[in-house]
Structure formats: structure tokens, C-alpha cells
Amino acid sequence: MQTQFLISAGEQPKRLDLFLVNREPKLSRAAVQRMISAGWVRVNNQPTKPSQKIKPGDVVNLDSPKPAPLRRDGQLVPLDILFEDSACLVLNKPAGVVAHPGPGHWDDTLLNALLDHAVQAGAGSMPGLVHRLDKDTSGVMVVAKTRDAHRRLAVQFEHHSICRHYEALVSGLPSQAEGRIELPLGPDRGQFKRTSTDSHCPKASATEYRVEQSFGVLAAHLLLTPRTGRTHQIRAHLQAIGHPILGDSTYEGAAISPADGGAVSRVMLHAHTLGFAHPLTETYYEFKVAAPADFKTLYQELRLATSGETTEAEE
């Protein structure tokens, strides 16, 4: 399906992404920017970019391709299931796995694997993601298996009654052993893949942190608790205070491994704890998963590299 806009004589010049957000209110600015970058938007039948200024007489074409059908029998994605019943499923997501299908990842995602699992188990309902973890983020997730369970879990996330703790290895050492980062976040003005404080539509955001261990002034191991649920919130907040997550090139955290001088393999962020009220029984469940091997390896490398400077936070 294609939508065409003819820019009228009375239209004031403005950025293409802002123009489309005003005309297509169901689309977020981030979604519009992704569509432009994917080539689904053209100005005067030419490829374009989000920052291009549209002017009277321009013709903007917006393609809205049908989403690819969700496939089962996709590429193998291992499932480390921690808990499962008729209402929900809790799993430990490995790093490197995309949660939801999209351009470039139509059959190798977590949701494809969950669909395979549901079919093999003879389930009468299909799984639904209540929340997501970024591709490079590992850790615990909950998945709804019915519409009612999805609704009840989504309400908990919306009201921030879910217990969530993350751990990260970050560049440098925060000046305070613990604190609360309260900086509004939204889609970055210049880089559509980023969330930042430099946004046209920032929203209130809060992340609490505690230094669990320092590696001199080279790096630190943090425990983090997001109090809101913005896209890339933890990554953007840590970058904003000058301590980006190691391996996070999107947020200026492309650090060097102290062991061999090579680049850190991925974003060193792990969803350590998830607690919620069961969507049927309302019994509180809490799940904890240890960080994966690559996280632990880098942790040990940092300890060795800063031997004599390493300090643990007081209990």
C-alpha cells in the first residue's frame, strides 16, 4: 500500500520525519525514521533521509509494506526456559538474538523460536512478547501465552510494578557509589537508532544505579534498576553521565578488552532479575539468572588488569 502527499503552497519547510509524524499520528518519529532509512519513503521519487527539508511542490511517497508472516520452522534459536505454565513462560534470552521479527531478521528471532515451541507443545494459543531486550542484551524475560495474560502483565509493566534489575560493565567509575539518573529521553534528533536527551519529544525517565565493584578508574560493575521503560533507557542514561556500557558502540562505549587489546564483543548489559505477579494467581514470582560467560570473562580480565586497584562495594 502506498500513501502520497503533495506538499501545498502554504506548507512551511520542515524536516521530512516531522512532517510524516504530523500526517501519520499512528507512527512514532522513531518508526518514521526507520522507514525512511529502509527506503520506504521517497521525495520526488528519490531516496531521502529523515533530515531532508520538504518544501511546497514536493511529492512524498510513503510505502506501507505488509509485514512478513511470522514463520515457524525458522532458524534454530535455543530456548533456556526457566518456568512455564498455561499463562506465561519465563526464559533466559542469550545475547545476539533479536526479540521480534523485522528487516534483516524474519526467521531467526526469539518470537520465531517461541512459535516453534508452542506448536511442538500442541498449545492452543500463541506466545506474545510483553517486553523486549535489545539484541545484544542477555537475561530474563517473561512471555504471555494468552491474551488475558498479556493484558495483565502489560499493566504491571505500564505501572512499573515489575521488579527489574540489570547489571552492566561500564567505562570509567561514577563519582558517587550510588545514585539516580533522572534525564528525559526520546528519539535522538540526528541519529534515528539512538535514544538521547537531545530529542524533539523527550519523556521523563529514571534509572537507579549502584557500583558493585570498581576496577580502578578504568571500569565499574553496576547494578541498575530502571524506574521507567524508555527505549535503550539504561544505555542512553549511562552514556549521558559519561559512563557508557562497554562494547556499546551506538552509545560511545566501544572499549578495548584489557586482555588482548581487541574490541569488546557486545554490549555488556544483562537482565539479572525479573519479578512479577502471576497473571492468573497473582502470586509473586521472581527469577534471577547469572550473567553469561563472555560477561564473566571480561569481568575477570578487568580484575586482572587492575589488580591492586579493584574494590568491592560494601554490603
Q: 308: phi > 0 → left, psi -120 to 50 → alpha, else beta; which?
A: left
Q: Of 17, 58, 134, 188, which residue is the catalytic one?
A: 134
Q: Which long-range contacts (CB under 8 A, 24 or more apart) does 287-291 make?
A: 287/82, 287/83, 287/90, 287/140, 288/140, 289/82, 289/92, 289/139, 289/140, 291/138, 291/167
One-letter amino acid for residue 210 of the chain: R
Q: Which three cell numbers stand for residue 270?
A: 544483562
User: Which parts of 191-258 fold into alpha helices (H)?
Assistant: 233-240
Beta bridge partners of 263: 256
Q: Are 187 and 33 in contact (CB under 8 A)?
A: yes
Q: Are 207 and 234 in contact (CB under 8 A)?
A: yes
Beta bridge partners of 196: 186
134 is catalytic: yes
Give catalytic residue positions.
134
